[in-house]
Structure 1
């Protein structure tokens, strides 16, 4: 295995990816089957041209190299919320470019070769406040309207992604969704503001029988 995961943006960059409750573990360092064995073993690797990434409740653990490597050019606005970096044979997080803005909020760091998090530029702007409203009866077979009420202190919300726990995600501000079967569903909204900062909110709803 080369890495647990890698992002590499093309010209113009890859941006606005939200990782939630992911585990990046047990990447092997120096595996000769890997395409680049000298660079292998990192839990998560960035190889340039990536901005506006959020990692929430993610774990980077027991990797043969780094827990996280923010490498390459044009890497900026990386936020880690309630993440765990543990048991990595190299550093928890490697040093990024001096221009890379990063923030670590309520993260746990232990038992790595180096537990020192990089002193990169912090994110100076507040993240959006993700909220939404539900309108209509939560009854199977009936359309339910969802409304994004999220706000951004620095500007406006420009991107939205709805996950209703079934079916295809929606991107509109006020989508309508019909749950065909009764039961519990986890509805998640991820938003991004015009500064490239992201946030998420999740609600569990109960859809009743007709």
Structure 2
């Protein structure tokens, strides 16, 4: 016997412990849960920044989906790409200083990758939202003041553009305004709709 009852809406799970991604996803006014992906983020030898971001976003989504097979799971990762060199989260002050000194006067591409997975339906999509960022020729004093004020040690490339970090920059070029903060919401909404999640 076939039931004509509509399918129940699936739980959405954000596979990330990032407070920035939680805040961004909440803008879609969509109930969601949060789960830590627990994925090794070590780059593979010779791995390009964009490939690293794509691989990790998908690995995070798959890892969480394995524990929540009925849910629609979102995974994301961001890597700062400085002429092919991957810059991740600095973790501490000295490393952040080093990163910002490397980036001053340079154009950096922030490779923000997004993956949406649902094991129950076999749905899997992955996409990339690159953001080109041109940094000012920063003085050591400006770098120090910024770091002491924002402490952006959990941000890829030490860049926290939604705060004082915007003063580090000359220009931002992208097609998904929230990508630089860590979750490209235009792509997220598109992929969630494709996975069967109703947003509006």
TM-score by length of 1: 0.26
The structure having more radius of gyration, on CA atoms, is: 1
Relative contact order, CA 8 A, sep 6+: which one is greater? 2
Structure (1/2) with the larger helix percentage: 2
Structure (1/2) with the larger strand percentage: 1
